[in-house]
Structure formats: structure tokens, C-alpha cells
Amino acid sequence: MRELSYTVATSANEAIAQFIEFDGAARYIAGGTNIYDLMKLGIERPGHLIDVSRIVGLDAIETDGDVLRFGGGALMADVAAVPNLRNEYPILAESLLKAASQQLRNMATVGGNLLQRTRCMYFRNGAGSSSAVGVYPCNKRDPGSGCAAVGGLDRTQAVLGTSEACTAVAPGDWPVALTAMDASVNLLGPNGSRSLPIQELYRLPGNTPHLEFDIEPGELITAITIPKTAAGRASTYHKIRDRESFAFALASAAVALEMDGSVVRSARIALGGVATKPWRATAAEAVIAGSSLTRDRAVECGRAAFADAHPGQHNSFKVELGVRVIADALFIAAQRRA
């Protein structure tokens, strides 16, 4: 049996001091909805857990200033329920409300959501709880062991941002909406505080798929900030999945528009369910900017997003699905313009 110890931190500085004390063996735990799961699967093996769910103020939600600011410990359910979020920033509210279940959202935090790990079945199901080496090779879990998904059952795998070492999809919905909205992540760690654009939090797999996040050991997500913008209102998080609730995305699009009549002045588009990280579709944004929103143009915009797609054996449907998800999301968002 492996030993596991547990402490509670009541301030961010206390959490970081505890992390230093346990010298790299410690992990933070917030809602526990992902890390406990991974510990039971034998994928995460911390020697010590630091509970950050009782840090005073880490769950603060501020919407009055120039930015929206959500504490890293704010619950997904509480952020989704912020008054007017559904009207003024439907992209944010929908990305939370279409994730997991109400029970999970009552436990899970918006900070923990950013660092949840992939649902790739070879990553999750391949590990034995008593062995560090899994049943299936997985470079993300056991670096250098190979990737069973390449040439394997890859229906749910990524088509964008993949490498020969890994095709695992980034699982979260909320990070996709934050990517479209140019959010930043505030971090506090042993070396001080910093702010990171959300896109820089996530790494492409390349040859090192086990390195998923650009976060230093012991850094705590203290807050997520989102610049306020008029594009928030004409926005949506459109998610297609195998069943209508309680499922991860097969393909999703976070879209926020600035409209001038029927012309799209500018568009922000990010994709989920199809890529190895929350995916900003800049080529698609360029296609639709300055154009009247017609079905043909919307589909052309979608196709631009998937121009560099690399489907495997069983997931080429994600390209056509993704194109349609983007096209439909553009119309949903446009209908919401003030």
C-alpha cells in the first residue's frame, strides 16, 4: 500500500508553503472530480494532497470592473449562475452548463477544469492501479512507451494538433470558450505571481505529450480574467456529443461575433473535441471577417478551420461534423446580436 497524506490550506500562500514543504510530491486538490478519478486508475500517484477548496477568497466572482474575474476555486455551477451571464456572455455560461452534470458542477471548480486531463481511453483504461506500466502503450502516461490510439480505435481522437506520439483530445469545454474570449490565467507560485494568456497554458503534444500544461510546479490558479467585450452578447458555445447531456464533445465551437447588420465585422472562433488543445481557429476567423453571413460563407469558414486536419482511421467524420458545428454556431451567435 502506498502512503498518502493530506492537508488543508486556508490561504494561497499557505498552499504554496505546503507545496514547497512536500518537495514536489504534492498535488493540489479542489473539487476532486478529476484527480481522485485518476488516482483510482493509478495514473496520478501523489504522495500528498493539498486541499485548496477552503482557501478564503479563492472562489470570488467579480463582474463589476473592466474584466470578468472568476477565482480559480469558484464552482462551475456558481459561475454558470452569475446574473446576466447567459444574456451577456452566453458563450461562457453555455460552455459550463453543457459540461458534465449539475452534481459535478456543484463540486468542480473553474480552475480545476482548466487542468483536467484527457479522456483518451488508452490513457485512462490502460493503467493498472498497482503498476506504473499500462496495459496499452501511452506516451502521455508512460513517456516513450508508444501510442495505442495511432492506428487503434481512434473515433474520439483529435484531428488537429496531433503528432505521431499522441492524438488525445483536450477534454474541457470551458477552456475552449475562454480561448475564444482571450482570457488570462492568474498564477501564484513559489517564484511569485504571473498572468498567462489562456492559449499559452496548453502545449501541443509533439514528442512530449506528457507535458500538457505550461505551469510551474506549485503554481496555483488564483483567478481567470476575461476582458469585457461587446462580442460577448452575440456568442455561443455549440457542442455536439454522442448523447445530449453528460458527455464530452465530439466537436464543439465557441463563437463570438461583432456584427454590422448582416455583416460579420469580426469573429472569434475556438474549437473543442477535435484538437489536442483548446484550438483557436484563426484561419476561419479571417475567412468570415468582413463577409455577409450566408450558409455558403459559413461553411467555407468551417472548412478553413480544418484545412490542416489529420484524421485517423475512424474519426474522419469529425472534419465534416466540425465544419457544420462552426457554420451552425455562427448563425446561433449572429441571431443574438443586440
Ligand X SMILES: Cc1cc2nc3c(=O)[nH]c(=O)nc-3n(C[C@H](O)[C@H](O)[C@H](O)COP(=O)(O)OP(=O)(O)OC[C@H]3O[C@@H](n4cnc5c(N)ncnc54)[C@H](O)[C@@H]3O)c2cc1C
Binding site for ligand X (CB under 6 A): 27-35, 37, 52, 72-73, 99-100, 104, 107-109, 111-113, 115-116, 171-174, 220-221, 248
Return the number of the residue (52 or 138) whose C-beta is nearest ligand X: 52
50's grid cell: 493539498
Return the number of the residue (259 or 271) whose C-beta is nearest ligand X: 271
Residue number of the CB atom closest to ligand X: 112
What are the distances in angstroms from CA 328 to CA 1, 211, 254, 302, 331?
52, 34, 11, 10, 5
CA 8 to chain centre: 26
Cβ 53 to ligand X, closest distance in Å?
8
Length in residues, the chain:
338
Question: How large is the C-alpha radius of gyration of the chain?
Answer: 20
Cβ 230 to ligand X, closest distance in Å?
26
Cβ 32 to ligand X, closest distance in Å?
5
Distance between CA atoms of 162 and 168, rounded to whole angstroms?
8
Return the number of the residue (29 or 319) whose C-beta is nearest ligand X: 29
Q: Strand, coil or helix: what is 301? A: helix
Return the number of the residue (171 or 209) whose C-beta is nearest ligand X: 171
> Which run of H or E residues covers position 240?
strand 235-240
Cβ 221 to ligand X, closest distance in Å?
4
CA 206 to chain centre: 18
Return the number of the residue (254 or 287) whose C-beta is nearest ligand X: 254
123's grid cell: 490513457
Return the number of the residue (189 or 233) whose C-beta is nearest ligand X: 189
Q: Are 118 and 167 in contact (CB under 8 A)?
A: no
Nearest residue to 188 (alpha-carbon basis) of 31, 331, 3, 14: 14
Distance between CA atoms of 287 and 298, rounded to whole angstroms?
9
